[in-house]
């Protein structure tokens, strides 16, 4: 539950998506969809690397030490988190394990 009142919307941002060390396969060309709106990231993450996306502008790829490796333009529409249940889908052809952090910003969700 997000605590957003009915009929209200909030802006959200994509905080971090990280390729985990449990599997050495890279994570590439991923799509994240929330409530039917999807954004895709045309990047390749090596194990331990992560990407940051603030909901607008470019996506940054950083290595395990936080050094920028790539900047890319995401495709699609930035998703919006609504009050109540939100459907989230992650798509990635032949990916290794990932950890996804989604953050919201704006007025607090009660």
pLDDT averaged over the chain? 84
Measured CA to CA, the distance from residue 52 to residue 14 in angstroms comes to 7
Given the DSSP bridges, would you call strands 50-53 and 75-76 parallel, antiparallel or unpaired? unpaired
Q: Which domain holds residue 54?
A: 11-103
Question: Considering the domain boundaries, does residue 73 fall inside one?
Answer: yes
Number of C-alpha atoms within 13 angstroms, CB side, residue 15?
7
Question: Considering the domain boundaries, does residue 62 fall inside one?
Answer: yes
Q: What was the pLDDT predicted at 2?
A: 67
Task: Please give the tally of structural domains in the chain.
Answer: 1
pTM value? 0.70
Low-confidence ranges of the chain (pLDDT < 70): 1-2, 14, 20-23, 108-110
- The closest alpha carbon to 3, from 80, 85, 78, belongs to 85
Question: Considering the domain boundaries, does residue 4 fall inside one?
Answer: no
Question: Considering the domain boundaries, does residue 109 fall inside one?
Answer: no
Question: Considering the domain boundaries, does residue 1 fall inside one?
Answer: no
Q: What was the pLDDT predicted at 72?
A: 96
């Amino acid at each position: 539950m997000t605590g957003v009142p009915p009929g209200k919307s909030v802006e959200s941002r994509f905080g971090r998506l990280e390729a985990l060390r449990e599997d050495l396969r890279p994570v590439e060309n991923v799509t994240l969809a929330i409530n039917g709106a999807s954004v895709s990231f045309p990047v390749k993450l090596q194990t331990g690397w992560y990407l940051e996306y603030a909901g607008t502008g470019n996506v940054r790829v950083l290595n395990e030490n936080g050094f920028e490796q790539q900047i890319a333009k995401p495709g699609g529409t930035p998703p919006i988190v609504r009050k109540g249940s939100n459907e989230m889908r992650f798509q990635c052809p032949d990916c290794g394990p990932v950890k996804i952090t989604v953050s919201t910003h704006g007025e607090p969700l009660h």
